[in-house]
Amino acid sequence: MTIKKRLFISNILMLVIPAVLAILMLASGLLFFLTAAFPHTEYKLGFQGELTEIRYYAVSLLSSWLEETDVSEKGRLELELSRVMGENGMCAQLIEGPDVVLQTGKETLAVQSELRRSLDALDGSGVVSDGVTELFGTQLIAGGNSYQVYLYNPVITLSHDTLKAWVIGIGFVLVVLLLFAVFLTNRFLTRFIFRRISEPLQILVDGVRQIRDGNLTHRIEYRQPDEFQEICDDFNDMAKRLQDSVERSRQEEESRKELLAGISHDIRSPLTAIRAYVEGLLDGIADTPDKQQAYLQTIREKAVDIDEMVKKLFLFSKMDMGEYPYYPETLNVSREIRDFIQASSEEYRRRGLKIVIESIPPDAVIDADPAYFRSILMNLLDNSAKYKVKKVGTALISGGYSGKKLVIYVDDDGPGVPPEALPKLFDVFYRSDPARKNSDQGSGLGLAIVSKAVERMGGSVRGENLTQGGLRIALELPLKKEVRT
């Protein structure tokens, strides 16, 4: 149940419960008043109409008693009359001339001679009262004889002062009881509502303290279908995002440290070589023109390596910061790949890499920057050339459709990478050689640039080890909308 519904029910109950309690207490107070104010009244008479009905019922019993000849039936009628008179605090008399034929009920009432004289003055029919006792009279004819019926009942009187005192007293008690009932209702409803608010609030407070203390794995378990469920779900989502952010920050810090270490190592190695060869030239170790030429050639190659690495580092940094310009065009993938291979195949052949193209859809079209796309191909093929294990390695480029994407595969016959290294393959400066002993095989920037370029093009990249040996790089690129299959 939601908090809103609970508040609505609470407001209704705040009105209904005191009203119901007030009615019950009023009825109880009236009953107590009648019981306490008239302790001598044991009859059930509550209204004048009921008294009239009892009188006529008693008269009918007396009439039946007079006409009945069976003794047992007369006895039953007399017992019924006695019961009615006794229950209502009344007295009945049946008189023939000066004799009392039948008398039953509260006989102390039948001593009111003044009332009888007053009623006789009315020919024995009617009602007379002296303020304490009331007398009803009527006449019956049975068997040719005339009978007089007298029915006595007490008159309930109450003075104005007594009534006022009782009303004030009962009113005060009812007000106190009503206030007490409101207090209890408020306490009950407050617990009914507040408990459903305080418990989830405490859960949220505990969750915040857990996050504050660094326990980012803490999650709130709350399944009540109310407003707090959405808040708790948002809290869990916030905690997860914060945990992911902290983890990303940690990974970025590690990557930054690896980046600095990689730059230091990869620049120091060629610089050390350059320095050694320059000192060899200065010290006269290269004492022949051939040696001097060889030294200078090595110095030139190391300088080129440094220049290439600096260019890649600059390119990666620009991509990482989103500052590298991106001008997408409509590219036919098959034509773009073949043009690039045609222009660079001789260079790769010189480096011992044979490139084979097969099964690329001729009508596959993507939106991409040509510079980005050529950078991806160049870095992947450079990676295959650097890590080949045969004298002449092979790189196989193929592709096909996968839903609304084009998948391009670049397979080589190199050594592959350990399975545990696949998730880190595209991290900056990562190489599967943790000791970085063979720096001539690259700086670890190539695949990181590939990952950034593919991400900028809206695609994804992954690495897989081939069953026959070697590494597969799979590129998934979104097709141009109007040609998606």
Average pLDDT over residues 348-372: 91
Is residue 64 in some structural domain? yes
Number of domains in the chain: 4
Nearest to 100 by CA among 132, 68, 62: 62
Structure tokens at 16: 């209904």
- Is the confidence at residue 87, as pLDDT, over 80? yes
Average pLDDT over residues 257-279: 79
CATH number reported for the structural domain that contains residue 131 in this entry: 3.30.450.20
Is residue 211 in some structural domain? no
Nearest to 308 by CA among 392, 370, 375, 393: 375
Average pLDDT over residues 351-363: 91
User: Which value, in Å, is the radius of gyration of the alpha carbons in the chain?
Assistant: 56
Average pLDDT over residues 334-354: 92
pLDDT at 47: 56
pLDDT at 46: 46
Pick from 297, 321, 345: which residue ends a domain? 321
Is residue 299 in some structural domain? yes
pLDDT at 40: 43
pLDDT at 436: 33
CATH number reported for the structural domain that contains residue 473 in this entry: 3.30.565.10
133 and 164 inside one domain: no
- Is the confidence at residue 441, as pLDDT, over 80? no
- Is the confidence at residue 159, as pLDDT, over 70? no
100 and 139 inside one domain: yes
Residue 443: band (very low, low, confident or very high) from pLDDT cuts 50, 70, 90: low
149 and 168 inside one domain: no
Q: Is the pTM of this model over 0.95?
A: no
Question: Rounded to 10 degrees, what is the CA torsion of 215, 221, 225, 229?
Answer: 10
Q: Name the burial class of residue 49, with classes exposed (0-12), middle (13-18) and buried (19+) by CB atoms within 10 angstroms of its CB.
A: exposed
Beta strands at 91-96 and 145-154: parallel, antiparallel or unpaired: antiparallel
**Which is higher by pLDDT, 441 or 212?**
212
- The whole-angstrom separation of Cα 342 and Cα 307 is 25
HSE-CB at 222 with a 13 A cutoff on CA atoms is 25
Beta strands at 99-105 and 91-96: parallel, antiparallel or unpaired: antiparallel
Q: What is the 3-state secondary structure (H, E, C) of the chain?
A: CCHHHHHHHHHHHHHHHHHHHHHHHHHHHHHHHHHHHCCCCCCCCCCHHHHHHHHHHHHHHHHHHHHCCCHHHHHHHHHHHHHHHHHCCCEEEEEECCEEEEEEECHHHHHCHHHHHHHHCCCCCEEEECCCEEEEEEEEEECCEEEEEEEEEECCCCCHHHHHHHHHHHHHHHHHHHHHHHHHHHHHHHHHHHHHHHHHHHHHHHHHHHHHCCCCCCCCCCCCCCHHHHHHHHHHHHHHHHHHHHHHHHHHHHHHHHHHHHHHHHHHHHHHHHHHHHHHHHCCCCCCHHHHHHHHHHHHHHHHHHHHHHHHHHHHHHHHHCCCCCCCEEEEHHHHHHHHHHHHHHHHHHCCEEEEECCCCCCCEEEECHHHHHHHHHHHHHHHHHCCCCCCEEEEEEEEEECCEEEEEEEECCCCCCHHHHHHCCCCCCCCCCCCCCHHHCCCCHHHHHHHHHHHCCCEEEEEECCCCCEEEEEEEEECHHHCC
Average pLDDT over residues 361-368: 92
Pick from 266, 297, 321: which residue ends a domain? 321
pLDDT at 434: 44
331 and 462 inside one domain: yes
383 and 440 inside one domain: yes
Residue 112: band (very low, low, confident or very high) from pLDDT cuts 50, 70, 90: confident
- Is the confidence at residue 308, as pLDDT, over 80? no
Residue 474: band (very low, low, confident or very high) from pLDDT cuts 50, 70, 90: very high
316 and 329 inside one domain: no
pLDDT at 158: 56
The CB-based long-range contact list for 420-426 (8 Å cut-off, 24+ gap) reads 422/462, 422/463, 422/464, 422/465, 425/463, 426/450, 426/451, 426/461, 426/463
Pick from 94, 120, 154: which residue ends a domain? 154
How many C-beta neighbours within 10 Å does residue 287 have?
10
Name residues whose C-beta falls within 8 Å of residue 397's C-beta, 6 or more positions apart in sequence.
337, 341, 355, 356, 357, 358, 360, 408, 409, 410, 411
- Is the confidence at residue 479, as pLDDT, over 80? yes
349 and 448 inside one domain: yes
Question: Which range marks the domain in which residue 254 is found?
Answer: 226-321
- The whole-angstrom separation of Cα 56 and Cα 443 is 122
Is residue 214 in some structural domain? no
**Which is higher by pLDDT, 387 or 408?**
408
Across all residues in the chain, what is the average pLDDT?
81
334 and 461 inside one domain: yes
- Is the confidence at residue 11, as pLDDT, over 70? no
pLDDT at 406: 94
- Is the confidence at residue 472, as pLDDT, over 70? yes
260 and 272 inside one domain: yes
**Which is higher by pLDDT, 452 or 315?**
452
CATH number reported for the structural domain that contains residue 306 in this entry: 1.10.287.130
- Is the confidence at residue 218, as pLDDT, over 70? yes
Q: What angle do CA 168, 170, 173 make, to 5 degrees?
A: 110
Name residues whose C-beta falls within 8 Å of residue 31's C-beta, 6 or more positions apart in sequence.
none
173 and 29 inside one domain: yes
Is residue 221 in some structural domain? no
| Range in 156-165, 192-201, 339-348, 415-424 with the lowest mean pLDDT | 156-165
Is residue 231 in some structural domain? yes
Beta strands at 393-402 and 353-357: parallel, antiparallel or unpaired: parallel
Is residue 69 in some structural domain? yes
The owner of tokens 């609505």 is 8
- Is the confidence at residue 151, as pLDDT, over 50? yes
179 and 33 inside one domain: yes
474 and 358 inside one domain: yes
Residue 107: band (very low, low, confident or very high) from pLDDT cuts 50, 70, 90: confident
The answer to whether 372 and 458 are in contact (CB under 8 A) is no
- Is the confidence at residue 363, as pLDDT, over 70? yes
HSE-CB at 41 with a 13 A cutoff on CA atoms is 17
Is residue 333 in some structural domain? yes
pLDDT at 65: 92
| Range in 81-95, 185-199, 292-306 with the lowest mean pLDDT | 185-199
